[in-house]
Amino acid sequence: MKLPTPHSLKEIAAIINAEFEGNPDFQITGINEIHMVENGDLTFVDHPKYYKKALGSKATTIIINSRVECPEGKALLFSEDPFEAYVTLVRKFRGFKQSSVAISPTAEIGEGTIIQPGAFIGNHVKIGENCIIHANVCIYDYTEIGNNVIIHSGTVLGADAYYFQRKPAGYRKMESCGKVVIEDNVEIGALCAIDKGVSGNTVIGKGTKFDNLVQIGHDTRIGQNCLIGSQSAIAGVTIIEDDVIIWAKVAINKDLVVGKGAVILATSGVDKSLEGNKVYFGIPVDEVRKKWKEYAYLKKLPEFFENEKRKNNLLNQKD
């Protein structure tokens, strides 16, 4: 997430009550988790296992809970609880803001777009031209929707990422400051849920079509002209490339890539990245012909064991 305006290291330190190392006027232009950082961003690290990754990342400001040497060209903020300090900044710059009307006055809605009764359009939402937003759709703050998009009843765009830090006292919520981006000519079925990015964007590509009851996790990117069947669930930080077909009740794990033109048949479970232009099936998923051959062999197992049992009985009788 980019800050509305750049802030100095000294200003950020004051917000989170932290000491710092670096030029007090060092500029911070964004807040991002470690997977999304770029030059000018602030991130955090709270475990020695990940110090090297954070300090060597593209982030130029790091909140850390140890007095380590500051890398050249970067700045450090010292906090006993970097996670809480980071969340404090997210709440400061993109915290929850209550709405009192169904369509926020800060929303931008294009010409020819129809908003049916009962829909909710949050703060700073952008909707393009000639869209249809059906009744009881809920569009959270900062969501962006292109032109000629259809969203059916009961769908929720931009709910928080399912992202928590486990501690002995319980789970702590990682506040989300990303958004959902829906490109042109997309159709989303009824009762779908597309979560916003933790600090980046969850993107649905141009021309993609969803059936009902589809779940998309945070920071996932769906390519162009994909088809996704009912009751499919795609976890966070996954990439579905262009022209992919995902049939009903497919579950796809996090941090995977499904290649361009792949087809995943219904009820499959995907636990690894998949090459494009192939057809897949099964739990765990594999190329369809290989999987069907495995199932054919499995069906023969009872007969095989029965034959083995008969052979053993005959041998025992001879003995």
Mean pLDDT of 176-180: 97
State both tokens at 238. 């996954």
DSSP 104-169: -TT-EE-TT-EE-TT-EE-TT-EE-SS-EE-TT-EE-TT-EE-SS-EE-TT-EEEEPP--EEEETT
Residues annotated catalytic, as ranges: 218
What is the tally of structural domains in the chain?
A: 2
Backbone angles phi, psi at 9, to 5 degrees: -55, -40
Residues of the chain with pLDDT > 90, as a percent, come to 90
In sequence order, the 6+-apart residues with CB closer than 8 A to the CB of 170 are none
Burial class of 289 by CB neighbour count within 10 A (0 to 12, 13 to 18, 19+): exposed
The continuous run of DSSP H or E covering 197 comes out as none
pLDDT of residue 318: 67
Residues in the chain: 319
Q: Are 119 and 101 in contact (CB under 8 A)?
A: no
In this structure, the answer to whether residues 230 and 272 fall within a common structural domain is: yes
Q: CA-to-CA distance for 54 and 125, rounded, in angstroms?
A: 32
Last residue of a domain, one of 48, 66, 94: 94
In this structure, the answer to whether residues 210 and 87 fall within a common structural domain is: no
In this structure, the answer to whether residues 83 and 210 fall within a common structural domain is: no
Q: Name the residue among 76, 43, 77, 80 with its Cα closest to residue 58.
A: 43
In this structure, the answer to whether residues 202 and 156 fall within a common structural domain is: yes
In this structure, the answer to whether residues 90 and 112 fall within a common structural domain is: no
In this structure, the answer to whether residues 83 and 170 fall within a common structural domain is: no
Domain of 283, in residue numbers: 108-287
What's the pTM value of the predicted model, to 2 decimals? 0.92
Asked whether residue 264 is domain-assigned, the answer is yes
Asked whether residue 19 is domain-assigned, the answer is yes
Angle between helices 82-94 and 9-16 (to 10 degrees): 110
Q: Name the residue among 197, 258, 248, 209 with its Cα closest to residue 36.
A: 197
pLDDT of residue 235: 98
Asked whether residue 318 is domain-assigned, the answer is no
In this structure, the answer to whether residues 264 and 135 fall within a common structural domain is: yes
In this structure, the answer to whether residues 166 and 203 fall within a common structural domain is: yes
Backbone angles phi, psi at 175, to 5 degrees: -65, 135
192-242 pLDDT tens trace: 999 999 999 999 999 999 999 999 999 999 999 999 999 999 999 999 999
Residue-averaged pLDDT of the chain? 95
Asked whether residue 31 is domain-assigned, the answer is yes
Mean pLDDT of 170-187: 97
Neighbours of 54 (CB within 10 A): 20
Q: First vs last Cα of the chain: how many Å apart?
A: 78
Residue 313 pLDDT > 80, yes or no? no
Asked whether residue 53 is domain-assigned, the answer is yes
Mean pLDDT of 32-36: 89
In this structure, the answer to whether residues 77 and 119 fall within a common structural domain is: no
State both tokens at 232. 């499919």
Q: Name the residue among 196, 219, 199 with its Cα closest to residue 139.
A: 196
CA distance readout (Å), 82 to 23, 62, 75, 89: 20, 9, 14, 11
In sequence order, the 6+-apart residues with CB closer than 8 A to the CB of 15 are 88, 89, 92
Mean pLDDT of 65-72: 95
Angle at 50 between CA 251 and CA 217, to 5 degrees: 20
Q: What is the CATH number of the domain that holds 125?
A: 2.160.10.10
Q: What distance lies between CA 154 and its chain's CA centroid?
A: 20
Which strands make up the sheet holding 263-264, listed edge to edge?
A: 114-115, 132-133, 150-151, 187-188, 209-210, 227-228, 245-246, 263-264, 279-281, 286-287
Residue 311 pLDDT > 80, yes or no? no
Residue 252 pLDDT > 70, yes or no? yes
Last residue of a domain, one of 63, 94, 125: 94
Higher pLDDT, 35 or 202: 202
Mean pLDDT of 65-92: 96
Asked whether residue 75 is domain-assigned, the answer is yes
In this structure, the answer to whether residues 131 and 88 fall within a common structural domain is: no
Backbone angles phi, psi at 169, to 5 degrees: -80, -10
In this structure, the answer to whether residues 190 and 251 fall within a common structural domain is: yes
DSSP 35-49: GG--TTEEEEE-SGG
91-145 pLDDT tens trace: 999 999 999 999 999 999 999 999 999 999 999 999 999 999 999 999 999 999 9
In this structure, the answer to whether residues 25 and 64 fall within a common structural domain is: yes
Q: What is the CATH number of the domain that holds 65?
A: 3.40.1390.10
Asked whether residue 25 is domain-assigned, the answer is yes
In this prediction, residue 301 has a pLDDT band, given cuts at 50, 70 and 90, of confident
Asked whether residue 295 is domain-assigned, the answer is no
Last residue of a domain, one of 94, 123, 156: 94
pLDDT of residue 319: 61
Of the ranges 168-177, 213-222, 244-253, 307-316, which one carries the lowest mean pLDDT score? 307-316
